[in-house]
Structure 1
């Protein structure tokens, strides 16, 4: 059901008013943006930081726990949490302590640290896969998995899902258009036809997956357990299990990218649902927000990796960087896995995320708005659809940037941060009941304006 023209018109007016209010409240950020803009386009070191759509970037002075303080002194309840990178709060005390102590003993040496065996044991015990490698980013981890899968199987193609997100991995930049896999037009500088070696399938459609796998040329199925970087799409019961079974029947490997769905629980979606993928990827949350990632794999895959290495030509494999597995990353991972990502922390996070989901649903019901709220563990998201979404095409159709922008800016000016890309919220171990109340209350106020119940 499309959003009404009246709501969209009010959303545009709300955005204009909130942008003006933001500009008036943030003179120091404005000055820093002008100074930084002399050397960084838009005044930011990464262009994604402009996606908040404020008149100029919001500059941060401090981020601790679930609170962000900007350079103008405003304090925010943070439900963005670095778009999952800081899912366990900003600078968790055990991680900050481990980083500080390790920094005094060395950062990187292209040699394993004395924590390597312990971190490997923690990863294996938590996620169920016996073998691991460390990378600098989840993108790097996914790239490595794609290369290993092709090398092991001797096949060229990768199957991904329409609407997926796997970082900067080129193989995932495809979409379905009229039932045909095509390269996403937003991808910059691409010269090879990715659609020749990647195929897209609709999420939650096992029949479509089976047909594609039956061709016998798929090396790897790369997927998130739930689509999370578009309007959120949860898997139907049995879909991921059926996907794993179908891949095995047809000789393809499967990687579950849990960089976002680690919100599900201490062992991610994989352990919560007792799954057994060939590969498992996890990004920055595993190191408490420090740039680092891991990929795990089965003993069978490790044996095949050894076979490939024993028979390959000499030279660089295209997998890994000199910073991968550095001492600092290992120290942060050990602290995060052992002391931060606890069952108690997840119980708190999930309980408050349920409070958010229930609160948002109540605000929607009060105004009879035909939208839904989707939750997966500590992650909750407003979706502009009258029912839960089933695939990427439905997710794309449900996105309304004008209304999203209005809600985000309204909340930001009331000292609440949500992820700017869509209506996603995350709860950290440090999130409080008061933070949740501030979010739900602010959301209700935003809806009051959008529905014409009151003026700005």
Structure 2
């Protein structure tokens, strides 16, 4: 029998598709190859961020222009962009209101370590969109999660954070763990890791309320940190009642509930939290909240804010271990205000959801037509095909469903056909700028790629 590395496709066919996709990429981009060969050596590993090497092509694109839902590379290829900066540009590249706000603010100053008039407007808009939290600004969602976890530990006096196996919360240490044989351990491959992450984090499976109950019963968990939907590898939806169960258990055991909406903001206006009526103690959002400019927000419920105020008044003077100099700068506030008021709107979300629904249906039709043992999942504007039967219920099932070689071959072949999706998994986003024609081209490219795999 031929080897089946995953997804019902033989290793030989995956290798053949990979080779043809690589050859096509190289042939189509001579200017990019020459430019990288001449100048990329100044960068560690030839790229300014190491994950830029994770794209499955022989070398990355060099982007000349990103506008709406289209990228153009220096070889002149126009590419339908469904990656959208892995959510950072979820509302499209350079939304006009954000671009106008940034141009106007650039002449009035960039950073000064003081609030401005936009600060006041942004606070009101954040509460209007997401709920009556008491807000703070960070530059990345990773920073926002780190800072908020300090608050959780301060007010509870507890050391540990509960996360779900396979979770995504940026590069927060407590999220860099996995569950193996009932133990919480560091994920393999962490660079320079020396601390025992199991001393400050406990991992359980998503959708397992009994495991959450048992972990919280120890009395040492300050907060449960979770995405509403697991998104970073083979998307996993919550079981009915799971989030209400989390809320009930955290309250019963005196732990805080912390919702990270950095990916699930695709759900709808206000994120999964507002759409589904969740009631977290801490709310975190990054990536697209400033229309593509680096910014993140985190907020405390009024009750938790009062608890922290009492703690803060009694702690010794000195460094808090929170905050970075360039966070909450004037440029961020200009972009935040424009995004929240003019881009993150009901009309844009309705357009995104309608397009994502068309994409989901088209991908599902292609999968059925080729009898692939795969499925499609959608959360609002976020769509993912998974190269395994579904639905999946937890991180272990998601890890088992992940087929890296097959997925890389598909991604590379889709780019050959003019469609870009996220390199880390099979995620696609529909923005307000994404057209019906672009969605149709992606469905056609996906179907043609399946025809090659399952011929």
Same fold (TM over 0.5): yes
The residue number in structure 2 matching 1:297 is: 300
Classify the secondary structure of the residue corresponding to 2:367: helix
1:35·1:43 contact (CA, 8 Å) conserved in 2?
no
Q: How many matched pairs?
A: 452
Residues 57-456 of structure 1 aligned to structure 2 (within 5 Å): 57-452=60-455
Cα displacement (A) at 1:351: 0.7
List alignment gaps of at least 5 residues for structure 1. Answer: none
2:111·2:331 contact (CA, 8 Å) conserved in 1?
yes
CA distance in 2, matches of 1:426, 1:438: 14
Cα displacement (A) at 1:4: 6.2
Residues 39 and 109 (structure 1), Cα distance of their counterparts in 2 relative to 1, 3 Å cut: same
Classify the secondary structure of the residue corresponding to 2:406: helix
Task: Summarize deviations over 1:346-394 as a string: whole Å, max 9, x none.
Answer: 1110111111111011011111112110000000001122121100000
CA distance in 1, matches of 2:76, 2:356: 27
CA distance in 2, matches of 1:248, 1:62: 49
CA distance in 2, matches of 1:3, 1:148: 43
Residues 6 and 120 (structure 1), Cα distance of their counterparts in 2 relative to 1, 3 Å cut: closer
Cα displacement (A) at 1:296: 1.2
Q: Structure 1: which 4+ aligned runs deviate by more than 6 Å?
A: none
CA distance in 2, matches of 1:308, 1:386: 49
1:43·1:57 contact (CA, 8 Å) conserved in 2?
no
Cα displacement (A) at 1:35: 2.6
Residues 131 and 408 (structure 1), Cα distance of their counterparts in 2 relative to 1, 3 Å cut: same
Cα displacement (A) at 1:73: 0.3
Matched, 1:28 2:34: no
1:411·1:417 contact (CA, 8 Å) conserved in 2?
yes
The residue number in structure 2 matching 1:56 is: 59
CA distance in 2, matches of 1:449, 1:404: 14
Classify the secondary structure of the residue corresponding to 1:147: helix
Classify the secondary structure of the residue corresponding to 1:38: helix
Cα displacement (A) at 1:2: 6.6
Classify the secondary structure of the residue corresponding to 2:41: coil
CA distance in 1, matches of 2:220, 2:7: 45
Cα displacement (A) at 1:159: 0.2
CA distance in 2, matches of 1:49, 1:14: 22
1:34·1:43 contact (CA, 8 Å) conserved in 2?
no
TM-score normalised by the chain length of structure 2: 0.98
Cα displacement (A) at 1:8: 3.1
CA distance in 2, matches of 1:345, 1:153: 40
List alignment gaps of at least 5 residues for structure 2. Answer: none
Task: Summarize deviations over 1:69-104 as a string: whole Å, max 9, x none.
Answer: 000000000000000000000000000110111111
Residues 142 and 450 (structure 1), Cα distance of their counterparts in 2 relative to 1, 3 Å cut: same
Residues 6 and 149 (structure 1), Cα distance of their counterparts in 2 relative to 1, 3 Å cut: closer
Classify the secondary structure of the residue corresponding to 2:108: coil
RMSD: 1.1
